[in-house]
Amino acid sequence: MDSFAFIIHPIDPKRDVTRKYPVLGKILPEPTIHFLSRFWPPVRLSHVTGARSMGTGKEIEGWLIAVPYTTQRMLTLPAKEVYRKIIAAGRLAESLGAKILGLGAYTSVIGDGGRTIANALDIAVTSGDSYTAAISVYATQKAARLMEIDLAQSVVAVVGAGGAIGQAVSQLLAPSIGRMILIGRQRESLELVVDKVHAMGCADVVISEDVSTISTAEVVLTVTSSGGNLIQPEMLRRGAVVCDVSRPRDVSWQVSRARDDVLVIDGGLVRVPGKIHFGFDYGLPADLTYGCFAETMTLAFEGLFEDYSVGKDLSLEKVRQIDALATHHGFELAALRSFEKKLDESLIEKIKAKVQR
Ligand SMILES: NC(=O)c1ccc[n+]([C@@H]2O[C@H](COP(=O)([O-])OP(=O)(O)OC[C@H]3O[C@@H](n4cnc5c(N)ncnc54)[C@H](OP(=O)(O)O)[C@@H]3O)[C@@H](O)[C@H]2O)c1
């Protein structure tokens, strides 16, 4: 049977460590978890079974593997040290028989978007960023529709626009929006994206290195490696839609408490075909997963065992290809969720009423 492996790592250190080691997670203080995460080896978390393509009927199996580094640890350690542990996790995947390895969350953010890791391993590697980009754009468009926002007449901000997913979503959104604000930390990388967005048909594009510029946008898609809590309640325009693809999330939980006049959705979520059993609770309902994981499974369904989304400059051709393949095998945009809960349509009516008052 064709098989895959997918790497995850602790994002919310106490909560995520508790999922694997209930006692350790409860007793260890967060700074100790960050410290110990440097020395803990990669861990096989579970055997994933029951994934079945709706398009071909093919069944695949896989493994979830943890690289124990927390996000904070990965952002502060030298990239070479982080690579070493991810490559060790990749070797574990190889020994289990996996033919492709997906790099979840920061395991593809650090360094060169998976290129060094792909070069070091014998099996195929993908960051999963191409399908994440496609599905995040769908989620943003759906949320805007529900809020009756006409994208063609709107200001759309992409935060993290210079990154791998940020560049791709900016280009995918470009043909259908009024004005685009590209936000990031480095002007030079944003300037390169301006040209690509122009080429896709959006003439009105500005760049900003100040995240608070999102206060002028009706729609925000945020996809950064900030490490979390980048977007605070006072930054958002009344009635705004925000699609938060980042993990850890960019939008502070404070927004859910302080702003009942904006709609924040969790981006990048996908419904999986078949009766999948992940064997490990990584914080989503049983039939959902992240776009990056869905891309890895799609490639296994397809038997396409080659390095796919690697590097920071994704090809739009591949984004479109993986989107079509994933749809063929039965993956689809998950019902929208907000701050880890299924979005209740009545909430949207409440937000709209609040905005109209
Ligand atoms: N939901 C899902 O299914 C899913 C799947 C894959 C990835 N992700 C998440 O998506 C995010 C981005 O992934 P990626 O592969 O695109 O990463 P990436 O290529 O490293 O891009 C991240 C971008 O964020 C920018 N950035 C970092 N801190 C910032 C700040 N404080 N203000 C503004 N911009 C900032 C970076 O700018 P500089 O280059 O200037 O540093 C970079 O351009 C990560 O959080 C990752 O975990 C989610």
DSSP 187-252: HHHHHHHHHHHHHTT--EEEEES-GGGGGG-SEEEE---S-S--B-GGGSPTT-EEEE--SS-SB-
Whole-angstrom Cα Rg for the chain:
19
The rounded Å distance from CA 315 to ligand 1 centre is 17
Domain check: are 202 and 345 in the same one? Answer: yes
Same domain for 212 and 341, yes or no, is yes
Question: pLDDT tens across 31-76, in order?
Answer: 888 888 788 899 999 999 999 999 999 999 999 999 999 898 899 9
- Reduced DSSP (H G I as helix, E B as strand, rest coil) percent helix, strand, coil of the chain, to 5: 45, 20, 35
Number of domains making up the chain: 2
Residue found under tokens 């952002």: 75
State which ligand 1 atom lies nearest to the alpha carbon of 248: 45
Mean pLDDT of 129-145: 98
- pLDDT for 17: 80
Are residue 213 and residue 307 in the same domain, yes or no? no
Specify whether the backbone of 301 is left (phi greater than 0), alpha (psi in -120 to 50) or beta. Answer: alpha
Q: Do 158 and 260 lie in a common domain?
A: yes
pLDDT of residue 231: 98
Does residue 202 sit in the same domain as residue 340?
A: yes
pLDDT at 314 over 80: yes
What is the rounded distance in angstroms from the CA atom of residue 84 to the CA atom of residue 327?
34
CA of 153 to the centre of ligand 1 (A): 27
On average, the pLDDT of the chain sits at: 95
Provide the token pair at 215: 């206060």
pTM score of the predicted model: 0.96
Check whether residue 210 and residue 254 sit in a common domain: yes
256 and 320 together in one domain: no
Average pLDDT over residues 270-281: 94
pLDDT computed for residue 15 by the predictor = 85
Q: Are 339 and 253 in contact (CB under 8 A)?
A: yes
Same domain, 262 and 276: no
Cα dist. 191→112, 155, 159, 171, 197 in Å?
A: 20, 18, 14, 13, 10
Instruction: Examine the pLDDT at 357 and tell me if it is beyond 80.
Output: no
pLDDT higher than 80, residue 204: yes
pLDDT given at position 31: 84
- Tell me which residues have their CB closer than 6 angstroms to ligand 1: 105-106, 108-109, 128-129, 132, 159-160, 162-166, 183-186, 189, 211, 223-226, 230, 245-247, 267-268, 290-292, 312
Out of 224, 282, 338, mutate this one to test ligand 1's pocket (max ligand atoms within 8 Å of CB): namely: 224
- Residues 209 and 182: their CA atoms lie apart, in Å, by 9
Give yes or no: residues 342 and 326 share one domain: no
> Quick one: pLDDT band at residue 11, thresholds 50, 70, 90?
confident
For 47, the token pair is 């055997």
Instruction: Give the residue with greater pLDDT, 15 vs 155.
Output: 155
CA of 185 to the centre of ligand 1 (A): 11
Share of the chain above pLDDT 90, in %: 88
Identify whether residues 314 and 349 lie together within a single domain: no
CA distance linking residue 50 with residue 160, whole number of Å: 35
Q: What is the mean predicted confidence (pLDDT) over 335-345?
A: 94
Taking CA atoms only, the protein residue closest to ligand 1 atom 28 is: 226
Regarding whether 186 and 45 lie in a shared domain, the answer is no
The whole-number pLDDT of residue 20 equals 82
pLDDT, position 51: 94
Structure confidence at residue 258 (pLDDT): 96
What average pLDDT does this structure show over 268-289?
94
The per-residue pLDDT for range 220-247, each reduced to its tens digit, is 999 999 999 999 999 999 999 999 999 9
CATH number at residue 248: 3.40.50.720
Boundaries of domain holding 75:
3-130+270-333
Q: Which atom of ligand 1 is nearest to the CA of 129?
A: 6
pLDDT for 24: 80
Whether residue 214 sits in one domain with residue 323: no
Give me the mean pLDDT over the 151-169 stretch: 97
